[in-house]
A and B are shown apart, each in its own frame.
Chain A
Amino acid sequence: MKQPGLKYFAILLLYFGLLAITANQGMAVERLENREYSLKAAFIYNFIKFTRWPAADTADKPLLLSVAGTNPFGDALLPLTQKQVSGRSIVLTKAIADSDWHDAALHPPSHILFVAFQDPELFSPVIAAVAGKPILTISDAKGFARRGGCIELRQQQGKIRFILNRQAIQQQGLELSYKVYDLALEIVGE
């Protein structure tokens, strides 16, 4: 005799299983992205450590970190605010909308600006806007450094590497330790 209930139970079980798998998959992707950005956050922290801002910038003031565009870090940048660099605390300005990055980045001027725009048409104006100002620009957008950004993060073989634009860094009036240069995947603007 045939048991129609068992059949449904099996289909249901399969469904939930699949569901579980897909759900699990989705969680995994998210977790992967989280790990990538917490590494990038650590990189940003390291860059801050190896960078010297002009002397006019008083030492006891906190270092301002802004993100232009949609913040991809989630909460990953928060731990940085717990730390100090050369006795200066790091203050994260509030998330910046795509359109009003300008004010956020320049009033008052940030020390570190992470450019979240991936499109060159979007990040180039930002580079242009902060050019000559003591602002360390960092981005993981492709071609960022080549287009005048200071530091371009790039993922390679599961590792975070970076491309540096010496000229840009110098034009911003910043000094980046040679030790960092030594580690660069590529240096442009020589």
Chain B
Amino acid sequence: MLKRFILNLPLGYKLNGIMVSIAALTLMLVSVAYFVHQHQVVRQQATIELATLSQIYSDTSTAALAFDDKDGANDLLASLAAKPTIRAASVLNRHGDIFARYLASGVPQSLLSSFLPNADPVESAAQIKRDLFHLKTPITLDHETIGTFLIVADFSDVRATQRRFILFLGVLFSLALMISTFLSSRLQRHITLPIHNLTTTMGTVSESNDFSLRVQSSTTDEVGQLCLGFNAMLERIEQQATLLQSQKENLHFLATHDALTGLPNRTLLYDRLHKGLTRARRNNTELAVMFIDLDRFKNINDTMGHDIGDLLLKAVASRLKEAVREDDTVARFGGDEFVILLDSVKMEAIEYVITKVTRAVKMPIELQQRQVVITPSIGLASFPQHGAIPDELIKYADVAMYHAKNSGRDTAQRYFPEMTSKIHARFNLENKLHTALARNEFTIHYQPQFELRTRKICSCEALLRWQVDGKDISPVEFIPIAEDNGLIVPIGRWVLQQACHQAMLWQRPNQPPIKIAVNVSARQFFASDLIIDVEKALKDSGLPPSCLELEITETMIMTDIEKAISVMDRISAMGVEIAMDDFGTGYSSLSYLKRFPLSKLKIDRSFVRDVLHDEDDAAITRAVVSMALALNIDVLAEGIETEGQLEFFHALNCRYGQGYLLARPIPAEQLTALLNQISN
């Protein structure tokens, strides 16, 4: 208990205690030794004094004893009255009888006889009884003992002297102890102060975690070295801490940023969004979340490789960053999805931002000597209109983006609540789409295409129809879904097979061949097995390649023109013809037309519809048709619904036409019947 208490005392107290204890012990030993010495000296001195006195008196009393002069002897002894310590004295003759005596006042005679019993007159003897010192000295005369001198002294004075001496020593001891305590408490600071400093600094360091602190030390002794060592340790810790901090920051950056683009990742986005919302709520400002998805990025990844895809993402990332304010957050949400967080933005400015972002993304990007154009689908949700929590805003922006995508891509959509239900419907649809092929829910309708001059059926376009629970679902609805999830590839393959088989059935000997036009989706077009699928379909059906026409769209080609050209060349080499669908809606340069192995251009129905009352459309159409003719490419006008339109194109020497005026898409059996009717 005590030992624990002493161990827990501060160092200064311990040092003090040790020094004072040693001092006290030393002083005590010295005092005791000195006292014992002094005690002996005093006693010895007193004894010697008494012995001397005794010697003198015994000597002096020789004559008196020799001359038997009792009076003389008594007179002599009476002179002892001058010495207060002498209590009694006597001169004994050779027989031991008292010859003369002296008794101090109040001293009984028995004091003298107390020593007598064992008195040998010849020998000197001493006895100390209590404080009384009896000393016996023989009285000799000429070597002959003639008697004894007996003296009794009171040594209580000696004791009193000793008591005074002890008192003196005690005072001296206390004084020395006080001085040593004072000195040690002063001196120990030289040792404990640096240690105290060390401890204090250590405490401060561990409390504040400030490793830049250093201990001040002026000595070079062990404590000084300890301080130096401690400082060195602090320095190393500081370095380590700095290193750790930078690593931590690095790690934090890695944890909050996307490795590829260096943009904030989903985690940081949510954090910023959370903070931004708090700020917006407090400042009563608006906040917008822009969800951006790159259209047909998968195609690029699949056809050009992931390296190019990564380069594209990086390029888009830097463009997006340049397109918005510096304090807006551009984050990579995953894959080809980006989210832009527009802090305290006015809704009026949103349109401008959308335009800026769209333009930035759509600018052609040069990747490995190839021009790539990519378009964004943008969804937008804002606080406080659409939601107040990060998850909500992101979700709604995502939903809006989905809608943008479904409404033909390359657009921006603001969120509105109905979108959510539409999304649900779309999910529903997508689920059903997965099993549609297996359930035989797809059918193909065929729309005849006519030679305008003869108004005879020369070919027909295969159009996919999907019936779920007796309800027709528009291709506009499900084709993008199939395109997105890749189901378009097996579906397209099925369509190709069916159409080829059907077309083979329609061929008649000695009759012009009935061509079959099959739409190829972008995904299908860039998939490596398109050629194999085409070959297989032709082989399985026995349809001559020249009777198959693949319809591709302008925008599809423009995502990767070089690759598209190579695919088209291979198709063309098989003898299969290629028609460009929806011509005029894309941004294809007319100069490319020359390089494409096209056999037919299909003028988009939007031009055909307005061609009679819109001069611009009429002019464009005229130019396109004459250019195609010049390039020796056949032209087909889509969506002819009136005689006027038909006449317009016929007048332009446009060879083919398609539309409700001529024939609607019909099931294969009806077309078979129609063909039979015509041939008959």
Interface presence of B593 (CB below 8 A): no
Give the residues in chain A near B60, CB-CB below 8 Å. 179, 182
Interface presence of B141 (CB below 8 A): yes
Interface presence of B72 (CB below 8 A): yes
Overall SS of chain B's interface: helix
Give the residues in chain B near A49, CB-CB below 8 Å. 66, 141-142
Give the residues in chain A near B64, CB-CB below 8 Å. 179, 182-183
Interface presence of B69 (CB below 8 A): yes
Give the residues in chain A near B502, CB-CB below 8 Å. none
Tally of B interface residues using CB under 8 Å? 12
Nearest Cβ on chain B to A51's Cβ, whole angstroms: 11
Interface presence of B592 (CB below 8 A): no
Nearest Cβ on chain B to A177's Cβ, whole angstroms: 6
Q: CA separation between A180 and B67, bound complex, in Å?
A: 9
Give the residues in chain B near A183, CB-CB below 8 Å. 63-64, 67, 69, 72
Q: Which one of B67, B72, B76 lies within 8 Å of A46 (CB-CB)?
A: B67
Nearest Cβ on chain B to A161's Cβ, whole angstroms: 8
Give the residues in chain A near B66, CB-CB below 8 Å. 46, 49-50
A-contact bits for B53-64, CB 8 A (1 contact / 0 none): 000000110111
Best-surrounded residue of B60, B72, B142 (most CB of chain A within 10 A): B142
Give the residues in chain B near A180, CB-CB below 8 Å. 63, 67
Q: CA separation between A109 and B654, bound complex, in Å?
A: 204
Q: CA separation between A86 and B141, bound complex, in Å?
A: 10
Interface presence of A43 (CB below 8 A): yes
**Which residues of A from 160 to 185 have beta carbons under 8 Å from B?**
177, 179-180, 182-183
Nearest Cβ on chain B to A9's Cβ, whole angstroms: 50
**Which residues of B from 58 to 96 have beta carbons under 8 Å from A?**
59-60, 62-64, 66-67, 69, 72, 76
Q: CA separation between A50 and B72, bound complex, in Å?
A: 16
Best-surrounded residue of B66, B67, B141 (most CB of chain A within 10 A): B67
Q: Do B72 and A182 touch across chains, with their CB atoms under 8 A apart? A: yes
**Which residues of A from 43 to 81 have beta carbons under 8 Å from B?**
43, 46, 49-50
Q: CA separation between A50 and B67, bound complex, in Å?
A: 11
Give the residues in chain A near B142, CB-CB below 8 Å. 49, 85-86
Known: A49-B141, A49-B142, A86-B142. A179 touches B62 (CB 8 A): yes
B contact residues vs A (CB 8 Å cutoff) = 59-60, 62-64, 66-67, 69, 72, 76, 141-142
In order of increasing CB-CB distance, the 4 nearest A-B pairs are A179-B63, A183-B72, A46-B66, A183-B69
What are 11 sample pairs from A and B whose C-beta atoms fall under 8 A apart? A46-B63, A49-B66, A85-B142, A179-B59, A179-B63, A180-B67, A182-B63, A182-B64, A182-B76, A183-B64, A183-B72
A contact residues vs B (CB 8 Å cutoff) = 43, 46, 49-50, 85-86, 177, 179-180, 182-183
